[in-house]
Amino acid sequence: MSRAELRRLVADEQERLRAAGLTAGGTLAVRMPPSLGCVVALLAGWRQGGQVALIDHRLTTYEVGKAIARLTPQLVVEPVAEVTGRLRGYFDVHSRITPLPGGRPAVSPHALLQLSSGSTGPSKVIGRTVSSLLAELERYARLEGFPRRGERSVVLASIVHVLGLVGGLLHGLAAGVQVVLPGMQTVDGVLKAVAAGPEPTTILGVPSQAALLAAARSPLALPQLSRLIVGGELVKADVRERFTRLYGAQLGAMYGMTEAGVIAADLTGATSPALTPAPGMEVRVAEGQILLGLPETPYVGQTDPTRFVDGWLRTKDAGVLDESTGLLTVQGRLDSQVSVGGLKVDLSEVEESISTLPGVADAVVVQGTGIEAFVTVTDQHTSDGLADSVAARLAPYKRPRALHILTELPRTVTGKPVRDAGVLRAAARSAALT
């Protein structure tokens, strides 16, 4: 796809949006799979002066409904027909534009809206201004080793989430980097996408995809592969060793948030797990928590007033900043947000979705070896159909790996549910024996 052709398609889509009622200051939700249609709708919405909200196409109908109710867009762009394919990296789809009753114009100056955790419910609405996005693009331009003009970027990270969107799509458009979305995100599909061009190539993805590539038995010889850069969580040492040995390429890591984009990086793997704060990003650690200096709050609507105070965003991530080297080591979340395959999941949202199912009396959701739910129900019928009910409400990456039925939840002396995974599992074993 040439730039000239992309501009023509964006102009055509802009006319469609204008005819559907989108004006400057209007609001548009884009719920499209990774596709040319998704890219065109996003750029056309901005060209028309609209505020664009991105909704992950993998969310269930229930979750999409909650997101739409939260964001109140005037229009939504979505596929004409629903798409399937868990390992698909690119879809050839047609879109439709639907005006929504009750949609409201923008209430903030943000160009982009996203939901924290890639989800709805208790998640926060995060806004990015034009200046915020441009500042992040400038950080990418100054990151030594990030793709440059004349190079290629094979983007495995979702283009509706911050790494794939800004680090992949927007950086590529801004810097003259060829952006490639592989048809399939299998090992074969990704390696063929890398091999399709002779230019130096970087893969952008998440740690689970690094593990997948590292497990390949007979990978293609790929002299053009410069590095794989992952975001979302730490890469295991054995995965790093296997990947670099198999491909003769570097395995780098980045730390970022939807609220601010890229924060720190180690693109070569030389300092892992420690990262260097990105150029222009102000970072400090107070009482074990990573704080970010931002010119304004990224949150839209009602939010926790303690998250952004005096120009500093409380990330709720634990970390250590080495004053002598300037390196930042991220030590995990301080709250209930966890990372599954590079996608953030808020356990409180999962818990709320399960707790409000018909027939469910109570639920506690924790993260152990994976997401686990401990549930009490009102009857056996609810227990038998619980997995299907949960699947209808939650996207696959949010679903608990294990659903335990208990006669009652363990509680503290003050009546609060116990959230220790070991105690909960012991209660589940006891209930199973009974």
Residues 265 and 330 occupy one common structural domain: yes
Residues 195 and 300 occupy one common structural domain: yes
Residues 36 and 56 occupy one common structural domain: yes
Q: What is the mean pLDDT of the chain?
A: 91
Residues 103 and 169 occupy one common structural domain: no
| DSSP assignment string, 399-426 | S-SEEEE-SS--B-TTSPBP--HHHHHH
Residues 75 and 181 occupy one common structural domain: no
321 within some domain: yes
Q: Is residue 233 pLDDT above 80, yes or no? A: no
Average pLDDT over residues 212-223: 87
301 three-class SS: coil
98 within some domain: yes
Between the CA of residue 388 and those of 66, 383, 385, 430, what are the distances in Å? 19, 10, 6, 25
Average pLDDT over residues 397-407: 92
Phi, psi of 5 (to 5 degrees): -70, -40
Residues 9 and 95 occupy one common structural domain: yes
Structure tokens at 70: 């939260």
> pTM above 0.85?
no
Residues 189 and 326 occupy one common structural domain: yes
Per DSSP bridges, beta strands 178-180 and 312-321 are unpaired
pLDDT tens-digit series, residues 97-106: 999 999 999 9
1 three-class SS: coil
The beta strands (E) that lie in 351-393 are given as 360-367, 371-377
End-of-domain residue from the set 279, 304, 335: 335
Average pLDDT over residues 141-164: 95
157 within some domain: yes
C-alpha triplet 417, 67, 204: angle, nearest 5°: 95
Q: Is residue 84 pLDDT above 90, yes or no? A: no
pLDDT tens-digit series, residues 365-400: 998 778 999 999 988 888 889 999 999 999 999 999
405 within some domain: yes
End-of-domain residue from the set 335, 360, 385: 335
Closest C-alpha among 337, 433, 354, 364 to residue 393? 354
119 within some domain: no
Residue-number span of the structural domain to which 389 is assigned: 343-433
CATH code where residue 72 lies: 3.40.50.980
Cα gap 64→135, rounded to integer Å: 30
- Provide the pLDDT for residue 413: 42
In this structure, the chain runs to a length of: 434
357 three-class SS: coil
Average pLDDT over residues 40-44: 98
Q: Is residue 118 pLDDT above 50, yes or no? A: no
Of 120-124, 271-275, 329-333, which has the strongest mean pLDDT?
A: 271-275
End-of-domain residue from the set 300, 316, 335: 335
How buried is 337 (Cβ within 10 angstroms: 0-12 exposed, 13-18 middle, 19+ buried)? buried
Closest C-alpha among 139, 135, 136 to residue 279? 139
**What are the beta bridge partners of residue 69?**
none
Share of the chain above pLDDT 70, in %: 97
Q: Give the range among 135-144, 283-292, 409-418 with minimum mean pLDDT.
A: 409-418
Q: Is residue 348 pLDDT above 70, yes or no? A: yes
Average pLDDT over residues 113-119: 67
Residues 154 and 203 occupy one common structural domain: yes
Contact 198, 224 (CB under 8 A): yes
83 or 264, which is more confident: 264
**Could you tell me the pLDDT band of residue 82, with boundaries at 50, 70 and 90?**
confident
Contact 172, 127 (CB under 8 A): no
**Could you tell me the pLDDT band of residue 342, with boundaries at 50, 70 and 90?**
confident
C-alpha triplet 114, 119, 121: angle, nearest 5°: 105
- Provide the pLDDT for residue 412: 62
Average pLDDT over residues 141-163: 95
CATH code where residue 369 lies: 3.30.300.30
CATH code where residue 251 lies: 3.40.50.12780
Cα gap 367→243, rounded to integer Å: 27
- Provide the pLDDT for residue 335: 66
- Provide the pLDDT for residue 121: 35
- Provide the pLDDT for residue 414: 41
124 within some domain: no
CB half-sphere exposure, 149, CA atoms < 13 A: 3
- Provide the pLDDT for residue 289: 94
Residues 299 and 194 occupy one common structural domain: yes
Residues 322 and 277 occupy one common structural domain: yes
- What's the number of domains the chain is made of? 3
DSSP conformation class of 164: I
122 within some domain: no
Contact 38, 32 (CB under 8 A): yes
- Provide the pLDDT for residue 235: 80
Residues 56 and 7 occupy one common structural domain: yes
pLDDT tens-digit series, residues 285-303: 999 999 999 999 999 987 7
Closest C-alpha among 276, 254, 264 to residue 205? 254
Residues 261 and 187 occupy one common structural domain: yes
Cα gap 313→293, rounded to integer Å: 6
